[in-house]
Structure 1
């Protein structure tokens, strides 16, 4: 079982246009779709599509139309009752896969809402292998909200607590790294540089640069780091080593949710006992599959690229 928490869910509206975006002009859409989104929900959808068990925790108003869309996503959920409508995120994607996003603010949460979310997450995490805390924090939550979740899960469940993966950015990620000691973080290269408040070191390639940078965190502050690099693949850094892999040739239709699918692919493989290199390959396959789909569709096993994905070990 993999449990996810999304405190800032979204209705993802993806609009496809036949030509590159022309700012300030009127353009016709060639297609549009809506998906129940938010990073943790995306991860849960991919895990479910792979035939593994997942459970998504999120704040939700029972009268919100988002509830019906979420029900259609076939993801088991544990909602925490709040008042207000789920935000909408709008993505505009052109034929080259270039994506422009506009993210709206969501439902503001109070301290009492976070207390209820924490209680629900602790209960849902009993018997789970992984807990994924993913996405931006909802308005009203302090930067250390994820830290509070981590401490509560570990304090209340003790040795039975699941491993904890965090996929967020900015102040929320800095707080987690400073105070939460997560088992895994999943920044991209820009988020990693922002976390370290420094430019990536000079290196022969991007993978080498992020590997060197991540060594400032692993294992001193976090158990491991999965750093996604878009079209250049991903890097996995653990206490035991570092590995890099590049994606197979992919016709990119939408990059929205590709990082979430990469994290899901990693966790699916890890839960099934894969090696670090095997888990990294799974992350690459799922991320590439998501990028080849329109909108924020959850790739399933039939969508995964079958081309060989070599993994190279990075020198420490």
Structure 2
């Protein structure tokens, strides 16, 4: 069982348009409404591929009811933590070339009691879990060391703790010693405080975060694939995308693919990149299914081309 935590879940509305013009009137060509938030997306991707997943989510208001209703379409074991504030609504506008414009609400403020209830629910839900994924932004009212505290509380268990967040929450979590972190290009730059224009710079940054406490770093790089740096090896992998439709949730699908294949090493990286590439080819935040995956197209490079410039499309 893989358990995911989405501290700031959402209902994601993805709108496809012919072109986005500021101040203009737009006729949507397609609309997709899906349960959202990084941890929820990871859980959705896992169950779509036959891997058992449990999702811990704080949810309140009519929007919270809608979120739980949307999750009922998936075989996810949902642990709901009731809250007074409503679940946020996020909007992504996607153009034909897969350019995404996102409008994300901050989310409702959690009270101290709600934050404590969420943490306790995570500890209980992750009993005997193989992996625990702490994912996404923290809502207003929750301290930046929330994930770090959970890592410390779980340090005496065999559960692999994985973190996919950004900013102060990521830096605090790294110091607490998670087994794996999964930043994207921008989040990795933010974590080390400098630009990372090449693959070589990404590897250096990943090694820096490992020296600060992270066991391994899986960096998603958009069209440039992904880099995995662990205690033994450094790999770069990429896969072609014939027609990109939406990058929303692709990084979450990548993390799910990595964990579904064991959560370490070359084969897990191949799986991760295959799942991420498949997600980019699907509308909205749709998660790939087995028929969408093409791991045979993934190219793995154990020797990093350190001077290769990155496109930065994360």
TM over 0.5: yes
2:128 is paired with a residue whose SS is coil
For residue 82 of structure 1, what is the aligned residue in structure 2? 83
**Separation of aligned partners in 2, 1:115 and 1:303:** 40
1:211 matches 2:193 = no
Per the TM alignment, residue 84 of structure 1 is displaced from its structure 2 partner at its CA by 2.3
Q: Distance in 2 between matches of 1:140 and 1:221?
A: 26
- Structural mapping, 1:22-101, within 5 Å: 22-61=21-60, 64-101=65-102
Tell me the residue number matched to 1:140: 141
- Match for residue 294 of structure 1? 283
1:238 to 230, 233, 244: 230
Counterpart CA distance in 2 for 1:55 and 1:112 is: 23
> What is the CA-CA distance between 1:254 and the residue it aligns to?
0.6
Aligned partners of 1:235 and 1:245 also within 8 Å: yes
Moved more, 128-137 or 207-216: 207-216
Name the SS of the counterpart of 2:85 in structure 1: coil
Deviates more, 1:35-44 or 1:60-69: 60-69
Q: Relative to structure 1, is the Cα distance of residues 262 and 306 closer, same or farther in structure 2, using a 3 angstrom cutoff?
A: closer
Give the TM-score normalised by structure 1. 0.92
Contact 1:208 1:314 in 2 (8 A): no
Residues 314 and 217 of structure 1: CA distance in aligned 2, closer, same or farther (over 3 Å): farther
Query: 2:205 and 2:84 mapped to 1: Cα distance?
Result: 42
What count of residue pairs does the alignment treat as equivalent? 303
The 2-side partners of 1:226 and 1:73 are apart by 27
For 1:1-316, list aligned pairs within 5 A. 1-18=1-18, 20-61=19-60, 64-154=65-155, 158=156, 160-178=157-175, 180-200=176-196, 206-270=198-262, 276-314=265-303
* Unmatched 5+ stretches in structure 2: 307-314
Other structure's SS at 2:13 match: strand
Structure 1 stretches of 5 or more lacking a match?
none
The runs of 4+ residues in structure 1 deviating greater than 4 Å are: none
Over the residues paired in the alignment, what is the CA RMSD in angstroms?
1.6
SS at match of 1:23: coil
Is the CA contact 2:241–2:280 (under 8 Å) kept in the aligned structure 1? no
